[in-house]
């Protein structure tokens, strides 16, 4: 039986190289009893591969049982697979044969095998190694001749590393691995599948089949299809039933394709407060500058108070010179930082005001000042003596930061 006949027999649509390779592997392993593990994303059609293997094998006249391991509760899965004895647990009113006993000389397809509990994995490993199993509540081993084909959409290596799946069982099951490609890697097959589904639903609902405009075909082909063939079939059925027009444009098609990128990309929230560890390097730099400006602002307030309450033994020019020296230590962007509440979002837009010099001169005119060097030096000296040289307490008493106090001590050469 050639490749085309197999596709027609099992209803497989597509001509991609990766799909053809998967089918060819199924044909090659079918005559043997080798265990096969089919992997691929959800909705790629993994359930078709075991049917091909079974129907092309010598077991085709035997039983074929497909078991969804993820749909059976953990408490009953051992009973389902291996059977149980009467009275082995509450509700076990009669002896029951499990799938491995019923499918003797046939094939069992274990779908979503990664969902098996670890205790069941141990039982399954024994079947693969010895061809024996034990019913729940029994001690008598039973022989079985069953071919096992498994499938999963999980990353098995990650499941092994996390302790969810046994490594020895994985290698027993995956003697021959078959990987089915996702639909986004079979772009040449997407429109073929759409047309096939459109014809099927037209017959089912007794209506003309839908067709796509050229722009719609482009959109269909370039879409990511996270749900793969299952999602494509669902979208085709929706359009077939809902739309009155049989010619589908790209605009209409877009309405049926979820925009996953709009919901899965990370979004920067401006409503949540940041912890300090979340700040960028630029944010931290502005934070340091703001703290520095705050310290200088405190010194400025102290100076202004001293000027207002100080002696009048200096000339106006000397006072202005001393205040200019004080303002020269303030960063040029500082007026903006103090003019409005600081936020990291607005920090990048801070600019030096154009009228900074004029506003500075105006400030000098408004605030009459005296030279405060001697007075400031005297106050610092008294604070240090009062707190016995403890700079932290002296700075707190003066209303300035410890860093500013340290700079003043060096500037005035205080001991």
What letters, b where the CB count within 10 A reaches 16 and e where it falls short, cover 175-212? ebebebbbbeebeebbeebbbbbbebbeeeeeeeebeb
Alpha carbon distance 284, 82 (integer Å): 63
Q: 186-264 — its CATH code?
A: 1.10.8.60
CATH ID of 3-181, from 3.40.50.300, 3.40.1350.10, 3.30.70.660, 3.40.50.40: 3.40.50.300
What would the two tokens of residue 253 be?
Answer: 């098609």
| Identical fold between 3-181 and 186-264 | no
Judged by DSSP in three states, 346 sits in helix
What would the two tokens of residue 179 be?
Answer: 């990987």
List per-residue pLDDT tens for the chain, 415 residues long.
Answer: 789 999 999 999 999 999 999 999 999 999 999 999 999 999 999 999 999 999 999 999 999 999 999 999 988 999 999 999 998 888 888 989 999 999 999 999 999 999 999 999 999 999 999 999 999 999 999 999 999 999 999 999 999 999 999 999 999 999 999 999 999 999 999 999 999 999 999 999 999 999 999 999 999 999 999 999 999 999 999 999 999 999 999 999 999 998 755 544 444 444 444 444 444 556 667 677 777 777 777 777 777 666 655 545 555 565 566 556 555 554 444 444 444 444 444 444 444 444 444 444 444 444 444 556 777 888 888 888 888 888 888 888 888 888 888 888 888 777 6
What would the two tokens of residue 354 be?
Answer: 């154009």
Alpha carbon distance 226, 184 (integer Å): 8
Alpha carbon distance 238, 256 (integer Å): 8
- Whether the model pTM is above 0.85: no
Domain ranges, ordered by start, for the chain: 3-181, 186-264, 280-411
**91 neighbors 132 (Cβ within 8 angstroms):** no
Q: Is 271 exposed, middle or buried (0-12, 13-18, 19+ CB in 10 A)?
A: exposed
What would the two tokens of residue 132 be?
Answer: 């024996």
Q: Is 36 exposed, middle or buried (0-12, 13-18, 19+ CB in 10 A)?
A: buried
Judged by DSSP in three states, 190 sits in helix
User: CA angle, corner 222, sides to 218 and 227, nearest 5?
Assistant: 125
């Amino acid at each position: 039986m050639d490749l085309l006949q197999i596709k027609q027999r099992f209803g497989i649509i597509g001509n991609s190289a990766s799909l053809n390779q998967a089918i060819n592997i199924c044909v090659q392993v079918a005559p043997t009893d080798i265990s096969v593990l089919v992997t691929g994303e959800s909705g790629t059609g993994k359930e078709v591969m075991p049917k091909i293997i079974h129907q092309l094998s010598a077991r085709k006249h035997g039983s074929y049982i497909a078991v969804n391991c993820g749909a059976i509760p953990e408490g009953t899965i051992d009973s389902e697979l291996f059977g149980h004895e009467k009275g082995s647990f509450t509700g076990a009113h009669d002896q029951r044969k499990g799938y491995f006993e019923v499918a003797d000389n046939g094939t069992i397809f274990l779908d979503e095998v990664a969902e098996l509990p670890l205790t069941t994995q141990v039982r399954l490993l024994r079947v693969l190694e010895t061809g024996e199993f034990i019913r729940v509540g029994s001690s008598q081993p039973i022989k079985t001749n069953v071919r096992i084909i498994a499938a999963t959409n999980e990353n098995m290596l990650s499941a092994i590393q996390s302790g969810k799946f046994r490594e020895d069982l994985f290698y027993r099951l995956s003697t021959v691995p078959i990987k089915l490609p996702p639909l986004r890697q079979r772009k040449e097959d997407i429109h073929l599948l759409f047309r096939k589904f459109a014809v099927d639903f037209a017959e089912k609902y007794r209506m003309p089949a839908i067709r796509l405009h050229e722009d719609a075909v482009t959109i269909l082909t370039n879409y990511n299809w996270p749900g793969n063939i299952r999602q494509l079939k669902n979208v085709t059925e929706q359009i077939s039933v809902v739309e009155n027009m049989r010619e589908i444009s790209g605009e209409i098609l877009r309405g049926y394709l979820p925009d996953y990128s709009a919901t899965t990309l990370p979004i920067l929230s401006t409503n949540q407060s940041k912890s300090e560890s979340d700040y960028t390097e630029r944010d931290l730099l502005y934070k340091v500058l703001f703290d520095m400006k705050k310290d200088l602002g405190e010194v400025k307030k102290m100076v202004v108070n001293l000027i207002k309450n100080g002696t009048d033994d200096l000339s106006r020019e000397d006072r202005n010179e001393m205040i200019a020296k004080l303002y020269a230590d303030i960063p040029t962007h500082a007026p903006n930082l103090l003019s409005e509440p600081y936020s990291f979002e607005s920090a990048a837009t801070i600019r030096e005001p154009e009228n900074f010099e004029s506003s500075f001169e105006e400030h000098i005119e408004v605030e009459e000042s005296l030279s405060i060097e001697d007075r400031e030096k005297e106050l610092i000296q008294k604070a240090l003596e009062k707190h016995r040289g403890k700079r932290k307490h002296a700075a707190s008493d003066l209303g300035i930061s410890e860093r500013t106090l340290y700079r003043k001590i060096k500037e005035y050469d205080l001991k």
